[in-house]
């Protein structure tokens, strides 16, 4: 990406043609060039200021805060104190365990299901628009609204609850849902998947439509059945999107927050719902420990960076 061309330097072949602004600038000399750059930066200033104040600076500040301690308005550097304190918190490991279990379960359910739903929808020749609208509808609901629905109606532990009524109707034992420590995570994954899968389905559908039909044709002539066509044509043809969405989903589910907050009142039965993000919220805004919360944020960033590194390695090797 060439930004400017110095006056007198001949354009090398193969470079993109200069924009009208830039060729005009070269003719008009230095004063004009400075002015054009100034115009460009004026257009940028609003967005850059917002990025600087609300993104770039907080990033640096978060790391700084994690090594500081503010008491009675005085900030001192305390080395790794915040980290040792936060790791010593008994909820620390529970929160990580819960977050990983949620991410893992969400990958099994929330990742495989949208892919197969997309394959299914792509095969249907009727009611396409209707089905797409249906799948995406929950994505448009405010999460708080949808989660109150799950909390009060679906996960009601008595037999008046929607899910328990269905279970009773088909002769299965009922569940206590959010009041049972073992059901808390699956229940949260179910609610979260219902709310969020629409986006993934639509993205997969778009990717499936780009697969050339000849590939299926050839596979069928070679005697490949439906399952083998999925494994040998559909999956390889969409692998980049599959990998990207896996990555995005891991990043999103690791930030699990509103599900425990609303469905489980935060920690849940026997701490079964506490997540890392909820712990950040607790430390930062209830225990008056913004520095500890910042340290936890940095730990989370490092863990997610680890996942990103694995993703980059895996996708780079495939090409």
Partner 1 sequence: MAADLTTRTLISHAQLRRGRGRILYWVLLTLVVVTFTLVFLGPLYWMVTGALKSGQEIAQTPPSLFPRDPQPQNYVDAWTNLDLAKLLFNTFYYATGAVLFQLVFDTAAAYALSKLRPVLGGVILGMMLATLMIPAMVLIVPQYVTVIDLPIVHVNLLDSPFAIWLPLVANAFNIFLLKRFFDSIPEDLMSAAVMDGASPLRTLWSIVLPMSRPILGVVAIFAVTAVWKDFLWPKLVMPSPETRTVSVGIYAFAGGTPQNVVIAASVIAAIPTVVLFLIFQRNIMSGLTTGGLKG
Residues 75-114 that bind partner 1 (CB under 8 A): none
**Interacting span for partner 1 (CB under 8 A) from 75-83, 100-108, 182-190, 284-292:** 284-292
Name the H helices within the chain. Answer: 20-28, 30-51, 57-65, 81-88, 90-123, 128-140, 143-149, 162-169, 181-208, 213-221, 226-229, 235-237, 239-254, 258-263, 276-285, 290-318
The pairing of beta strand 68-71 with beta strand 74-77: antiparallel
The residues, any chain, with a CB within 8 Å of residue 27's CB and separated by 6 or more, are none
119 binds partner 1, rule: CB under 8 A? yes
Cβ 257 to partner 1 shortest distance, Å: 6
- Among 7, 79, 142, 306, which residue sits at the site for partner 1 (rule: CB under 8 A)? 142
Q: Please say which residue, 49 or 182, places its beta carbon nearer to partner 1.
A: 49
Cβ 76 to partner 1 shortest distance, Å: 16
**Interacting span for partner 1 (CB under 8 A) from 77-85, 101-109, 180-188, 287-295:** 287-295
For residue 255, report the phi and psi dihedrals to the nearest 5 degrees.
Answer: -95, 20
**Interacting span for partner 1 (CB under 8 A) from 72-80, 81-89, 100-108, 122-130:** 122-130
Q: Is 269 exposed, middle or buried (0-12, 13-18, 19+ CB in 10 A)?
A: middle
- Among 80, 116, 285, 286, which residue sits at the site for partner 1 (rule: CB under 8 A)? 285
- Among 213, 316, 318, 319, which residue sits at the site for partner 1 (rule: CB under 8 A)? 213
165 binds partner 1, rule: CB under 8 A? yes
Q: Please say which residue, 105 or 161, places its beta carbon nearer to partner 1.
A: 161
170 binds partner 1, rule: CB under 8 A? no
| Angstrom distance (rounded) from CA 183 to CA 275 | 15
């Amino acid at each position: 990406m060439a930004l400017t061309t110095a006056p007198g330097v001949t354009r090398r072949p193969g470079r993109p043609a200069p924009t009208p602004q830039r060729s005009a600038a070269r003719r008009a000399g230095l004063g004009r060039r400075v002015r054009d750059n100034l115009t460009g930066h004026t257009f940028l200033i609003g967005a850059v200021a917002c990025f600087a104040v609300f993104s770039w600076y907080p990033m640096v500040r978060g790391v700084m805060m994690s090594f500081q301690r503010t008491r009675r308005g005085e900030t001192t550097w305390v080395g790794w104190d915040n980290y040792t304190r936060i790791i010593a918190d008994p909820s620390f490991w529970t929160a990580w365990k819960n977050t990983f279990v949620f991410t893992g379960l969400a990958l099994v359910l929330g990742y495989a299901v949208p892919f197969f739903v997309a394959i299914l929808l792509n095969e249907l020749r009727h009611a396409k628009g209707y089905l797409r609208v249906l799948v995406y509808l929950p994505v448009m609901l405010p999460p708080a609204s949808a989660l109150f629905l799950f909390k009060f109606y679906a996960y009601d532990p008595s037999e008046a609850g929607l899910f328990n009524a269905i279970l009773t109707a088909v002769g299965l034992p009922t569940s206590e849902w959010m009041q049972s420590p073992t059901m808390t995570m699956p229940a949260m994954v179910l609610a979260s998947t219902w709310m969020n899968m629409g986006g993934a389905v639509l993205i997969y559908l778009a990717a499936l439509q780009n697969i050339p039909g000849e590939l299926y044709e050839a596979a069928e002539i070679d005697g490949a059945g439906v399952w083998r066509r999925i494994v040998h044509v559909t999956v390889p043809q969409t692998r980049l999107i599959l990998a990207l969405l896996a990555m995005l989903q891991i990043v999103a589910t690791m930030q699990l927050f509103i599900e425990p907050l609303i469905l489980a009142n935060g920690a849940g039965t026997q701490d079964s719902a506490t997540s890392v993000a909820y712990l950040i919220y607790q430390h930062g805004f209830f225990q008056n420990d913004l520095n500890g919360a910042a340290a936890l944020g940095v730990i989370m960033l490092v863990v997610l960076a680890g996942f990103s590194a694995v993703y980059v390695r895996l996708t780079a090797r495939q090409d």
